[in-house]
Structure 1
Amino acid sequence: MIPRESQNPIAESRDGRPEPFVFLLLENFTLIAFACAIEPLRLANRMAGRKLYEWRVVTADGGPVTASNGVTLQADGPMAELTRDTTIMVVGGLNVKSAVSRPVLTWLRREARRGLAVGALCNGAQVVAQAGLLDGRRCTIHWENRDGFEEEFPQVDLSQNIFVIDRDRYSAAGGTASTDLMLKLIARRHGTDLANLVADQMIHTAIRSDKDEQRLSIPTRIGVRHPRLANVIHAMEDSIEDPISPALLAEDVGMSTRQLERLFRRYLNRSPKRYYMELRLGKARNLLQQTDMSVINVALACGFTSPSHFSKCYRALYKTTPYRERGASDASA
C-alpha cells in the first residue's frame, strides 16, 4: 500500500471514482506501445490496493483489430460518447494513414470539443494532428515518421523527446516511451511514490522524463566515440536540405578535408560525401513513403537540385527509382 502522506491531494478530488481511459486501436497498431501504456494503469491499481484507473478498448466499428505483429484483439465496443473526465489514447502503427477514416476524425474532434484530453501513442499523433487537435501544440512521434510528419503538419511543434505533455494533449513516441508517459501521468495524479512502485514492478529501472530524446546518441548509434566525428554527423543531419561541403564541415571541427576523409574511412568505411548522401537519400525514402509530396519536391527537400541526379543516386542505393518507390508505397497502403 502507498503511505497516505505520499499521495497527491488531486487523487482525492474524484470522490473515489476511478479515472477512465479509452484506447482507440487502429488497424496495424503497435502492440508494444499499447501494452506499455495499459500495464502501468493495471499495476497502479494493484499497488494502491484500490481501483484508481479503469479502461476500455475501442475500434472504429467495435470489431476485432490486428496489431502489426499479427496478434488480434477483441475490442470492448465501438467509438461512442464518453464522460468528460475520460482520456482518449490513439494507438497507431504501420500504414497509419490507411487506418484513418472520416468517422475516426469526427469522433476525435467531437470529444475534444467536449473537453476530453486526447493522447497519441507511436504514430497515433499523425491521426490526432489530421483531426486538427495538435495545431499550435507540442507533440512527439516515432523518429521514423518524423520527416513525413514535419512536412504534412508544419503548424505542429514537433519534439524529438520520448513523450510530450502539452496541456490536455499527450503524446509518446512509441515502444517503451508509452510507459514513461503513463508513469508521469500517474505521478501527477497520485504522487511519485506510486509511480516508482509501478516502475519497479515493470523492471523499468530508469524512469525517463520528457527531456529525454528518442534516439541513441550519435556515438552509440555509429559505435564510435569520437567527438569530432559526432559533431560532423550532427551537422550533416541538421543540414539535409542545404548540404554543407566537406571542406566547411572539416573547417568547423578544426580539421583538414584530408583528415576528415581519413576519419570517415577509418571508422565508417566510407567517405564523408558518401555518408552524407546516404543520410539525404534516407530522408528522401521516408518522405516518399510517408507523404504525398511530389518526387521533385522530395528531391529539393533533400538537397537535390536536379531530379535526374536524384533519381540516379536513389537507384544506386535502393535499386529502384523514386517513382517506383512511391508506387510501391501507395500499393501497400
Structure 2
Amino acid sequence: MQSDRPRRFTFLLLDRFTMLPFAAAIEPLRLANRSSGKTLYQWRLVGPAGDFATCSNGTRIMLDEGLEQDAPTDRDEVVIVCGGTEVAREATKPVLNWLRRKARGGASICAVCTGAWVLAVAGLLDGRKATIHWENHDGFAEAFPEVVLFRSVFVHDGNRLTAAGGTSSIDLMLHLIAQSHGDELAAELADQMLHTGIRTDQDRQRLSIPTRIGVRHPRLAAVIARMEANVEDPISPARLATDAGMSTRQLERLFRRYLNRSPKRYYMETRLARARNLLMQTEMSIIEIALASGFSSPSHFSKCYRAQYGSTPYRERGTGTATRLQQAAPLSPTAEI
C-alpha cells in the first residue's frame, strides 16, 4: 500500500521515557527517507510539558509542541506513545483525553516500552491484543484483564500497535515500512542499522531458556519452562521429574550440577520473583499476590519473601522504592490526577 503523501508520525514523549525504544522507532523513518530519496515519512515530537521531555537517562529532548497546540488528526497519522519509568504518573487527564481524541479521529495508536500501560488506562486496548516489556508483563496482566496480552516482540491489532521496548521498535517500524513500501526497502534499512534478523510478531521477547541459564540441556530447559508456566499452581518436583522421563533423584542431580541449587529452590526463586514484580507494579493486596505466586497463606509467603529479599512484603510496600514502583498501578481513566 503506497501513497504519494508522506505519512505522519507523532511521538508522544512522556516524562522519564526510555531513550532506546524511541530512537529505535524514529531512526527507521529517517533512513527510509534517505534510502528512497523521497519524503516517505514526516514526524514531530509532542509532550505534556510542551517545551522538552526528559528521558529516564536524564537527557532532555526538545519538543515541537505541547498537547494543547495539536493540529487536527489525520486518519493516516500514527501516534506513538513512548513510556519509561513510573509510567502511571504520566497517565494524566490531559494525556488520556488527548489520546482518546486522536483515537476518535481515526489515527493509529501505538505504544513502545511501557507506553502500553497508558493506552490501557485510557481504555484504548480493551478487547485488543497487545504486548509490554516482559518485566511489566505480570503486573499489566493483573491490572488489565480486559487486554489480550502476549509476550511477543510486537503486536499489530488493527489500528492498535504495541512494541515491548528496547530494539523491538525497529522490528515494528520495519513491519510498517514493509507494509507500505515493500520488503526490499525494509531489508535495506535493517542492513543499514546492522539489524541482522528482522523479527516478526511471532517472535518472543526473551532469550531462550538455555541461553538465559547458560546451559544447553533440553530436559532441564523443559522442566524450567513448566515451572515458569505454572507459578500460581506449582507442580511437585516428583511430578516434574516423572513428566520429564526421569527420577526425582536424577532431577535433583541435574539442577545441582548445572544451577547449583535444588529444583525446589529454583522454583521458589521463580515464584518469589513474580511476587516481587506484582508487589512493585500493582496495588494487589498481599494475600492476592501470595495466591498468584503459589503460596497458600500470607504468613508463609512473607517468611519466604523475607528469606529471599531481606524484608517482608508488608515492609517493602511501605518503603520509598516500593511506593515509587507501585505507581505503575492502574488509574481510573476519568480520575483527576
Work out the CA distance in 1 between the residues paired with 2:128 and 2:24: 24
Q: Does 2:124 match 1:136?
A: no
- Matched to 2:19, the amino acid is L
Q: What 5-or-longer segments of structure 2 have no aligned partner?
A: 328-337
**Equivalent runs, 1:139-154 vs 2, <5 Å:** 139-154=130-145
Distance apart, 1:323 and its partner CA: 1.5
Work out the CA distance in 1 between the residues paired with 2:46 and 2:318: 32
Q: Identify the residue that residue 104 of structure 1 maps to in structure 2.
A: 95
**Equivalent runs, 1:1-333 vs 2, <5 Å:** 10-12=1-3, 16-79=4-67, 80=70, 81-328=72-319, 329-331=322-324, 333=327
Q: What 5-or-longer segments of structure 1 have no aligned partner?
A: 1-9
What does the per-residue CA deviation read over 1:244-276, in whole Å, with 9 as the maximum and x for residues that have no partner?
A: 111101010011111111110000000000000
Work out the CA distance in 1 between the residues paired with 2:316 and 2:159: 38
Q: Identify the residue that residue 5 of structure 1 maps to in structure 2.
A: none
- Matched to 1:67, the amino acid is C
Distance apart, 1:84 and its partner CA: 2.5
The number of residue pairs the alignment matches comes to 321
Give the 3-state SS of the residue equivalent to 1:83 in structure 2: coil
Work out the CA distance in 2 between the residues paired with 1:320 and 1:98: 26
What does the per-residue CA deviation read over 1:132-176, in whole Å, with 9 as the maximum and x for residues that have no partner?
A: 111111111100000000001111111111011111011111000
Work out the CA distance in 2 between the residues paired with 1:331 and 1:168: 32
Q: Identify the residue that residue 3 of structure 1 maps to in structure 2.
A: none
- TM-score normalised by structure 2 residue count: 0.93
- TM-score normalised by structure 1 residue count: 0.94
Distance apart, 1:63 and its partner CA: 2.7
What does the per-residue CA deviation read over 1:276-297, in whole Å, with 9 as the maximum and x for residues that have no partner?
A: 0000000000001111101111
Distance apart, 1:38 and its partner CA: 0.1
Distance apart, 1:306 and its partner CA: 1.2
Moved over 6 A (4+): none
- Matched to 1:293, the amino acid is M
* RMSD, aligned CA: 1.0
What does the per-residue CA deviation read over 1:84-128, in whole Å, with 9 as the maximum and x for residues that have no partner?
A: 221100011111112221111111111101111000101111111
Give the 3-state SS of the residue equivalent to 1:11 in structure 2: coil
| Percent pairwise identity | 62
